[in-house]
Amino acid sequence: MSDPIDPPTVSTPGPLTGLLVADFSRILAGPYATMLLADLGATVIKVEGPAGDDTRTWVPPDRDGVSTYYLAINRNKRSVTLNFADDGDRALAQELAGRADVLIENFKPGGLARFGLDYASVSAGNPAVIYASISGFGTAGGASLAGYDLLVQAMSGLMSLTGDPAGPAYRAGISVFDVMSGMHAAIGILAALNHRNQTGEGQHVELSLLASALSGLVNHTSAYVAGGVVPTRMGNAHPSLFPYEPLPTADKELIVIAGNDGQFRRLCAVLDLPDLPDDPRFLHNQDRTRNREELRPLLVERLRTRPADEWFRELTEAGIVCGPINNIDDGVKLATDLGLDPVVEIDTVPGIRNPITFSSTPASYHRPPPALGADNDEVRAWLARDRRDQLP
C-alpha cells in the first residue's frame, strides 16, 4: 500500500490505513463496499459526474435537505466531480486510477472502456491495482441487462419465496442483493489485496448481483441444485424447521423458535404441554416440520392465553429463543439497550456504526457524507501534482 494522501487523523489507525480507493461506483452496492473500507481507514475518493450520485435525490426521507439514503452509505469519503466527456477531467480520472490501490466501479460492462478507465487500460499503467467491477448479471449473456436490485430479486427467485402462499410475490424490505454484493465486493477486494501483498500482482475482481443472490439464497438454491426441490412461498414459515415463525399471543405475534429437540421440550414445559415432546408426531424436528399443521394450533391455543411480553420474559428465562416483531426504531433502541452502541455521529450527521469490532484497530468516523464536489479543489490540485505529494 502506498497512499500518497494524508490518512485520516484518528487516535488509532484503522487496519486499512494507507490504502487509496478510487470509487467510481454509485447507488448502493459499490458505495456500501467503499464505505466499509473507509470506516476501516482506507482513503476513499468518490468520483461523481456533474449531476452527482443518483441517491442524493432519493427522497423522502431526508435530513436537512439531504437524502438519508445517500447519507447511509457515503461517510468517510472525499467527493470530486469529473466529467468523463471533458478531456481534462478524463485525464484526471485516469490519473486517479493510476494512483489507486483499489478501483471499484459498477458501470454497465464495458462502459468505461471508451474513457480509458476499463481494467485493461488502468492495469497497463498500474499493474498492482485491484480493480473491482460490480454488474447486475455478469459480463457474458447478461451484460446488457440493467443491474437493479428489484430486478434481481425477481429474476433470482427470491420474490417467489417472499409473501403469503396464496398471495402475490413480494420484494424484500431492503435492497438485499445490493447490500450483499457490496459485502462480497469488500471480501473480494481484501482477498485480492492479500494476494498482492504476497506476489505484488494486482487483478480484476468481478461479481454480479445475480451471482451474489444465488449464493445468498443458500438453503433454497441448495434445495434445487442438490435436492431437486423448487422451494415456494411459505409466508413466515421455514421449510425445514418448526416452530420457527411468528405465532399469535393474546395481544400480538411473537417469534418462537425451537431449533432442536431439547429446545422444543423446554418450550412445551413452559407452555404446560408436557405430552407433546413424546408424541410420535412431534418427536424430532423432521416430525414437527412434517406435522406442523397439527402442532401449530396446539401451541397457539396456549400462547393466546397471555400477552406477548409476558411470554417473552418467561420463555427467555427458560432459554427458549423468542422475540417481538419490532419497528426500526425499536430495533435501534434494542441494540442500544444491549450495549452495541449502534449510532455514531460525525459533525451532527448520525449513522449506523460499522458492524465489525476490532480489539486493536477499530473503525473510525471522521468525515460526514460529502456534499457534491466538496473536495474538488484539493483533489484536483493533488492529481495535478507529483504523485509523491500528499493531499492536505
Q: For residue 354, with 0-12 CB atoms within 10 Å meaning exposed, 13-18 middle and 19 or more buried, which class applies?
A: buried
Instruction: Indicate the residue type of 20.
Output: L
Give me the architecture of the 20-216+354-384 domain, per CATH: 3-Layer(aba) Sandwich (3.40)
Backbone angles phi, psi at 274, to 5 degrees: -65, -20
Over residues 158-176, the pLDDT tens digits come to 999 999 999 999 999 999 9
**Residue 285 confidence (pLDDT) above 70:** yes
Over residues 132-153, mean pLDDT = 96
- 311, 312, 265, 308: which is closest to 288 by C-alpha? 265
What pLDDT does 391 receive? 75
20-51 CB burial, b ≥16 within 10 A, e <16: bbbbbbbbbbbbbbbbbbbbbbbbbbbbbeee
- pTM (predicted TM-score): 0.93
- Sorted by where each begins, the domain ranges of the chain are 20-216+354-384, 244-334
Residue 117 — pLDDT band, cuts 50, 70, 90? very high
- 90, 158, 141, 88: which is closest to 118 by C-alpha? 90
Cα-based torsion angle of the residue sequence 89, 95, 97, 101 in order, rounded to the nearest 10 degrees: -140
Residue 5 — pLDDT band, cuts 50, 70, 90? low
The interaxial angle of helices 261-270 and 308-317, nearest 10 deg, is 130
Angle, CA 100 vertex, CA 98 and CA 197 arms, to 5°: 115
Q: Is 54 a catalytic residue?
A: no
**Residue 6 confidence (pLDDT) above 70:** no
Residue 156, C-beta contacts closer than 8 angstroms, at least 6 positions apart: 177, 210, 213, 214, 217
Cα–Cα distance measured from residue 283 to residue 265, given in angstroms and rounded to the nearest whole number: 9
Cβ proximity of 299 and 272 under 8 Å: no
Cα–Cα distance measured from residue 32 to residue 265, given in angstroms and rounded to the nearest whole number: 43
**Residue 331 confidence (pLDDT) above 70:** yes
Over residues 187-209, the pLDDT tens digits come to 999 999 999 999 999 999 999 99
**Residue 8 confidence (pLDDT) above 90:** no
What pLDDT does 315 receive? 97
User: How many Å is the maximal CA-CA distance in the chain?
Assistant: 79
Cα–Cα distance measured from residue 372 to residue 79, given in angstroms and rounded to the nearest whole number: 6
Over residues 52-76, the pLDDT tens digits come to 999 999 999 999 999 999 999 999 9
Residue 388 — pLDDT band, cuts 50, 70, 90? confident
**Residue 369 confidence (pLDDT) above 60:** yes
How many C-alpha atoms does 174 have within 13 Å on its Cβ side? Answer: 10
β-pairing verdict for 349-352 and 343-346: antiparallel
Average pLDDT of the chain to the nearest whole number: 95
Over residues 283-308, mean pLDDT = 98
Q: Which of 3, 101, 178, 375 is the catalytic position?
A: 178
Is 244-334 assigned to CATH 3.30.1540.10? yes
Q: What percent of the chain has pLDDT over 70?
A: 97
**Residue 181 confidence (pLDDT) above 80:** yes
* 212/387: higher pLDDT: 212
Instruction: Indicate the residue type of 251.
Output: D
What pLDDT does 390 receive? 76
What pLDDT does 308 receive? 96
What pLDDT does 1 receive? 45
**Residue 11 confidence (pLDDT) above 70:** no
What pLDDT does 10 receive? 54
Angle, CA 66 vertex, CA 63 and CA 70 arms, to 5°: 105
Cα-based torsion angle of the residue sequence 154, 156, 161, 167 in order, rounded to the nearest 10 degrees: 20
Residue 387 — pLDDT band, cuts 50, 70, 90? confident
